[in-house]
Amino acid sequence: MFIKRLNSIPGKYVAIHSRCKSVFSLLRNESAKNDVDANIRYPYQVVQPGHLSPIKAVPEFIAKPDYRKTTLLFTNRASCITINSEEMIRKMKETCLLAKHVLQTASSVLEPGVTTDYIDEIVHAEIIKCGAYPSTLHYKGYPKSCCTSVNNVACHGIPDDTILQDGDIINIDITVFYLGCHGDTSDTFQIGNVDETGLALISSTRECLNRAIDICKPGAKFSDIPEVIEPFALEKGLSVCKKFVGHGIGQHFHTPPNVWHVKTHRVDKRRMEPGMIFTIEPILMEGDTRVKILSDGWTTVSRDNLRSAQAEHTVLITQSGHDILTL
């Protein structure tokens, strides 16, 4: 019946038939592309989520952040950028130095054969030993004490039984809650012998972060940050992940402003002022910027299975410029 109706109106039939051919052609091309992707041999493992170990306990005497839904909703809706007091800045400096220490401790155990769950075990134990709380643990249901993002995992990788292999790269993201405030830092590290492209990705990401921090001072706009990051990444043949941003930080894990790393109409055009504290944390990608969040609600992977690297510091705006609190 449908075919007869089309045949009675030749012009419309031809138009619809043409569109169908175009759709089928796109589907075939996408299928062929996926088949090609499946056969590509990467110089690293393409990571999928593995098995999780039980959630680790935190002693009662450790002060814990307020992750009640009402508190998180309040911080999500907040619009004002906090100008921190001298006392809060002092506490943030101590907390951020602790985050730096924990990241260094985690990086010291990296080698082929180590699992990302073991890294989390080291991180958790070191944070607790220092009398602090691992900020990621139980934050909106996150089950571990750090994030470990390997190769094609762009960010928020959950530590599990994944075994690091020679040639991998891994980002370790550490946030600690100490003295009533959060300190946040991350970096990407090589495992064994990494190819030149992977090493260039890591060094370019760190350089991108440093260039963005260099322009931070009173009067600079937050919108100046992507103006530095994107052109440099493109110059290196890399792209910048569009989905994730830096953020204000202090008594709460995430506060205004959103610190964009790409040019967008949503970028915050407000100016930096002394006392503001925020993170800059660009993710540079070998391929395009398309990512997907897996069923665990956290693990974010590149759709083309290519690698990414991330580097992050917590930055304080001072009267004369800036201070990198996690350096």
* Domain residue limits at 115: 69-324
CATH number at residue 259: 3.90.230.10
pLDDT, one tens digit per residue, over 172-203 is 999 999 999 999 999 999 999 999 999 999 99
- Residue 7 inside a domain? The answer is yes
The pLDDT of residue 75 is 80
- Residue 166 inside a domain? The answer is yes
315: β partners? 278, 324
**Residue carrying structure tokens 């070191």:** 126
- Judge if 209 and 124 occupy the same domain: yes
- Judge if 13 and 82 occupy the same domain: no
- Residue 63 inside a domain? The answer is no
Structure tokens, 130: 């220092």
Query: Measuring CA to CA, which residue among 134, 82, 99, 13 is closest to residue 313?
Result: 99
- Residue 56 inside a domain? The answer is no
Radius of gyration of the chain (CA): 23
- Judge if 155 and 107 occupy the same domain: yes
Reported as a pLDDT band with limits 50, 70 and 90, residue 235 is very high
- Judge if 175 and 283 occupy the same domain: yes
- Residue 312 inside a domain? The answer is yes
pLDDT, one tens digit per residue, over 112-166 is 999 999 999 999 999 999 999 999 999 999 999 999 999 999 999 999 999 999 9
- Residue 46 inside a domain? The answer is no
The pLDDT of residue 39 is 62
Is-contact 195 169, C-beta < 8 A? no
Mean pLDDT lowest among 32-36, 97-101, 114-118, 127-131: 32-36
Query: Measuring CA to CA, which residue among 42, 61, 252, 243 is closest to residue 151?
Result: 42
- Residue 132 inside a domain? The answer is yes
- Judge if 193 and 310 occupy the same domain: yes
Count: domains in the chain: 2
